[in-house]
Amino acid sequence: MSNDTGVERTLILLKPDAVARGLVGRIVARFEDCLLKVVASKMVWMDATLTRRHYFDLEERFGPKVYAAMAEFMQSGPVLAVVFEGVEAVACARKLVGATYPDQAQPGTIRGDFAHMSQAYANEHGIAVANLVHASGNVDEAAHEISVWFAKDEIIEYRSATAPFGQ
């Protein structure tokens, strides 16, 4: 969803490491603190089919080893999928999440504050980078990813307390 008012939707996945570490509430609060509202959420244990649908191009872009490591990681525990809505939600979420590799993420970002793994360590050990969160990269990607995770009737429309700010 995007419209001429700048209100967008984005998909955020709290990965198995975020769930296992009990960071779900703290991470969701970061998005809500920035006036992004939850319009859909569900906890899912990803299977091979959902993993392939979500990461449909990962193997082509980075090779089978990267895909296999990511698939194993994402299927290792439950994932919380959340659709957030708000003004320029995609860019806002990307800024909150921080750099892909936690050792490069700035303090104040989710990955900078709560994660620590480097790409070198992950590569050396043949594992996915434990970086807590997936965030859609752009509006089109967000629309596709939301459709992978949620049916239209699972996304709730409501007026939030921040409605005067465009939501």
- pLDDT one-digit tens code per residue, 57-95: 877 776 688 888 889 999 999 999 999 999 999 999 999
Q: Is the pLDDT of residue 162 over 70?
A: no
- Answer whether residue 30 shows pLDDT above 60: yes
Any domain includes 157: no
- Domain range for 91 is 7-146
Assess if residue 161 is contained within a domain.
no
Within a domain: 164:
no
Q: Residue 133: pLDDT above 90? A: yes
The number of domains in the chain is 1
Write the DSSP string, the chain: -B-TT-EEEEEEEE-HHHHHTT-HHHHHHHHHHTT-EEEEEEEE---HHHHHHHTTTHHHHH-HHHHHHHHHHHTSS-EEEEEEEEETHHHHHHHHH--SSGGGSPTTSHHHHH----HHHHHHHT-----SEEE-SSHHHHHHHHHHH--GGGSPP---TTGGGT-
Catalytic residue among 54, 116, 125, 134: 134
Give me the CATH number covering residue 33. Answer: 3.30.70.141
Q: Does residue 89 lie within any of the structural domains?
A: yes
For residue 158, being part of any structural domain is answered with no
pLDDT interval class at 165 (50, 70, 90):
low
Q: Does 163 score more than 70 pLDDT?
A: no
Residue 153: inside a domain: no
At 28 the pLDDT is: 98
Q: Does residue 134 carry a catalytic annotation?
A: yes
pLDDT tens digits, 150-161 = 999 999 999 887
The whole-number pLDDT of residue 67 equals 85
Residue 42, domain member (yes or no): yes
Percent of all residues in the chain with a pLDDT value above 90, rounded to a whole number: 72
pTM across the whole model: 0.90
Q: Tell me, yes or no, whether 74 lies in a domain.
A: yes
Out of 18-22, 57-61, 88-92, 109-113, pick the least confident. Answer: 57-61
Percentage, residues of the chain above pLDDT 70 = 93
